Chains A and B, each alone.
Chain A
């Protein structure tokens, strides 16, 4: 009889044990997060999809830097995903000390949730974008479909891969760059909409983030052309030498990923100082070089110059050996052309906006 009681008692004991364990780990986490304590501090960086490699490396140099500066060990927790989705999760309660998202519009969403104070854009130099990027085409080796510019994307025989502008920051830049091209062709707004509609009819897979889109194109072999962040395209070239080529279109857009300290969270956790330094240090020479090495355009113009592409033409078939890759010979528009993110989001991306109308009527 005693034997039969045993399983029950075990279950009860385990429950109590695990609940107690649960409680203690959560208080333990709270302690390390409360920052100001000597010894070590932990911050969370919620970022967008393709920055995972960059921040993995950056975190290392920042750890050294912070140790020298303050004597503290810092542990950085990373989270990556589609920029819009990440912003929404932070707004819903994901405890991020800093956000490093794909565009200002997404940081605005966190601000609108009451977590970031107004005027964050001026908190760090150059509109709080320590590095920038651009949108290019990644095509299969030899460019079999002969895709050279945006107008090739609306041909019937071309399959396009781009993520969903509703959830992905990169996808919004893709969309706006295409829009700018058709605008430069002298098309009226209705004609532009028709062209954009055609382009999105050619889209085979609409992933939720840039990295998912790259996986669809590179790993799963979908489509003829991937509209990609420059950094994502070069990384694919790096990972799969000889399989892909980068085509730089005649016009594109200067993408300004935006960083911000999440005021409400850092004040609660007492991590403001380390969080601000984390973002500030992105502008240091060491970090700027690291960004260039991972194919982001450094905001420091002198360092950017050191990485200027030396080759000819607008097709890059292999990584330049000297690591000089920045093509400056390209007509880049920027978000101001679209009246800033508030206006662009309102017009193009919110529910019932232009993107919905061109994509849903398919």
Chain B
């Protein structure tokens, strides 16, 4: 089908609008971040990002992202498999529940866990007896991050699985393959790219999560302060160089992920076309 107005003024108007919008809302602030981070010179920048608390925040963020991605991958694949390959009552409900974190405000996610695992909850005496600290500790930060990111991987996989249908799997089953063989040799190769794409989105979101983590972290410096929380801390301590230096690291991490995303998209499409 011919695209309308490919040469007319509308095209240029839209390009102009998009450019201005992106410049004002995205490029300028990012340039400002880099500029402020380097305001006091490269030495101050390096000092800020190698500060012991900065390093701890970076390591914590990486750790939280890794755990989140791994657990969400397992959950996401199983959930997608369940929803596309089995018929059962309540399937709609499960499918809707998976999407819930997309619509729930992160602060509510945080408060849910405070109510579940906090001192006023019914299970707190048990946790206390076993000396398990969930909220206001690293597990709480991980839980919050998992909660806000868990739809990302399954939501990428489900459409692919639905589109592929079950023919190949049924054929494999008829030929005597067991469930594990079917999954590793038929199903997983199909969803590989969608899965990796989901992983990328999940990591990006997990890295930057602020709201839910803020509620559950207790803001313990050097222990539960992830990068976004640490940035807020520095900003409020009037340490702009530090705050923007850390921001720039977060931005760089995001850019790396963006590049990964594009590579994945490209390779995924190529494989499909082939």
Interface: B230 (CB within 8 A): no
Find chain A residues with CB under 8 A from B118 CB: 92-93
B136-154 Cβ-contact flags toward A at 8 Å (1 or 0): 1111000000000000000
List 10 A–B pairs whose Cβ atoms lie within 8 Å, in order of A's numbering.
A5-B184, A22-B139, A25-B138, A49-B236, A77-B220, A77-B222, A92-B119, A94-B135, A211-B236, A218-B238
Q: B219 near A4 (CB under 8 angstroms)?
A: no
Is A79 within 8 A of B221, CB to CB? yes
Interface string of A13-27 (1 = CB under 8 A from B): 011001000100110
Task: For the complex, give the distance between the alpha carbons of A92 and B190 in Å.
Answer: 46
B131 at the interface (CB under 8 A from A): yes
A interface majority secondary structure: helix
What is the interface size of chain A, counting residues whose CB is below 8 A from a CB of the partner?
37
Instruction: For the complex formed, measure the closest distance between the CB of A146 and the CB atoms of chain B, giving whole angstroms.
Output: 27
Give Cα distance in the complex from A330 to B88, angstroms.
75
Report chain A residues within 8 Å CB of B119: 91-93, 113
**Which residues 81-102 of A have a CB within 8 angstroms of B?**
81, 89, 91-95
Is A22 touching B67 in the complex (CB atoms < 8 A)? yes
Provide the bound-state CA to CA distance between A77 and B138, in Å. Answer: 14
- State A138–B242 Cα separation when bound (angstroms): 25
* Chain A residues, Cβ within 8 Å of B233: 80
User: What's the least CB distance linking B106 to chain A, in Å?
Assistant: 16
A58 CB to closest chain B CB (Å) equals 14
The answer for the CA separation of A14 and B223 in the assembled complex, in Å, is 23
- Which of B124, B133, B236, B238 sits near A95, CB closer than 8 Å? B133
A49 partner residues in chain B, CB cutoff 8 A: 236
Bound together, the chains give a CA A14 to CA B120 distance in angstroms of 35
Q: How far is the CB of B236 from chain A (nearest CB, A)?
A: 5
> Within the complex, which residue of A1, A11, A212 is in contact with B70, where a contact is CB–CB below 8 Å?
A11
Bound form: Cα–Cα A4–B184 in Å: 7
Chain B residues closer than 8 Å to A11, beta-carbon distance = 70, 73-74
Q: In this complex, what residue of B is CB-closest to A16?
A: B70
Contacts of B73 in A (CB 8 A): 11
A95-B118 Cα distance, complex, nearest whole Å: 11
- Contact A80–B66 (Cβ < 8 Å): no
In the assembly, what is the distance between CA of A11 and CA of B223, in Å? 26
Task: Produce 1/0 per residue, A39-71, CB < 8 A to B.
Answer: 000001010010011000000000000000000
Q: Across the two chains, which residue of chain B brings its CB closest to A238?
A: B238
CB of A94 within 8 A of CB of B218, answer yes
B235 close to chain A: CB less than 8 A? yes
Q: Identify which of residues 198-222 in chain A touch chain B, using a CB-to-CB cut-off of 8 Å.
A: 211-212, 215, 218-219
Taking the nearest CB of chain A, how far is it from the CB of B155, in angstroms? 19
